Structure 1
Amino acid sequence: MDEFENIRRWCREHGISIQELAEKANVSASTIYGWKYKKPSIKNLNKVSKAMHVTTGYVIDNKVHEKRELNDTSAIFTFNGEKIPEEDMKYVRELLKRFSGKKHD
């Protein structure tokens, strides 16, 4: 399965064995090796991705998922399934600026 190949590639690139990664993730190496033939459980996928310091999406498809800035006007932000109005987003941005210690625009 792709997940195993992505993990193996990541381990090679980072000079770590699958056994070492398994120990860091608190799963057995046989669990990770088993992903050659079957899909991982969400629980174990989360453990391994956290040990790798990557998203589960990266483990699944080997792509770095783009992070969008909160000021990206092309993005649609939602809360509880509802689109957040632009006026409310301005307020959220202002609060985040204050909490991050940045000066206001």
Structure 2
Amino acid sequence: MTILDRTKEIAKLRGISLTDTAIKAGLADKSIYSWDRSTPKADNLQKVADVLHVSTDYLLGRTDAMNYSSVADNKQIDLKDALNDEIMLAFDGRDIPETDKVKIREYIELLDLKRRSEHE
């Protein structure tokens, strides 16, 4: 599987087009499509990996583990922050309705409150 194939695959999984991925990464809108003919620069690959929440090693085919970069850096992902990330709030390639997002946020806050009270 090529870099372009992996990028297409994860972008589809995240519910985002390659054009939108490139734009969010600060690249020219069709630049990712050229990755089937040439290897992207390391910094451009990292930008796209960050947008798609995977490691560059995953996009390069060095691993099958997606390893979001902040997890790879031993940082925890704050679920409340993740809920505000439009890429993270998609399911089966479709956006989650705002009313459901509210319910998900409330549930996470309840779990967080419960976890904190158990540790006190």
**TM-score band, normalised by the shorter chain?**
0.5 to 0.7
Which structure ranks higher in relative contact order (CA pairs < 8 Å, sequence separation ≥ 6)? 2
SS of residue in 1 equivalent to 2:51: helix
Q: CA deviation at 1:65?
A: 6.2
Amino acid corresponding to residue 64 of structure 2 in structure 1: K
Paired with 1:60 and 1:35, the residues of 2 have a C-alpha distance of: 11
Distance 2:43 2:35 in 1: 13
Query: How far apart, in 1, do the equivalents of 2:8 and 2:32 lie?
Result: 9
Provide the rounded CA distance (Å) in 1 between the counterparts of 2:66 and 2:21.
22
Distance in 2 of aligned mates of 1:10 and 1:30 = 17
**AA partner of residue 23 (structure 1):** I
Matched, 1:64 2:65: yes
Aligned to 2:26: 26
What does residue 42 of structure 2 align with? Answer: 42
TM-score by length of 1: 0.57
Matched to 2:31, the amino acid is T
Q: Which runs of 4+ in 1 moved over 6 A?
A: none
Counterpart for residue 17 of structure 2: 17
Q: Which runs of 5+ in 2 are unaligned?
A: 75-120
Residues 55-91 of structure 1, C-alpha deviations (whole Å, 9 max, x = no match): 1001111610677x9xxxxxxxxxxxxxxxxxxxxxx
Unaligned runs of 5+ in 1: 70-105
Over the aligned positions, Cα root-mean-square deviation in angstroms equals: 2.2
Larger Rg: 1
CA distance in 2, matches of 1:13, 1:50: 15
Q: Distance in 1 between matches of 2:46 and 2:40?
A: 10
What is the TM-score normalised by the length of structure 2? 0.50
1:11-65 C-alpha deviation (Å, 9 max, x unpaired)? 1112110111111111113220110111111010011111111110011116106
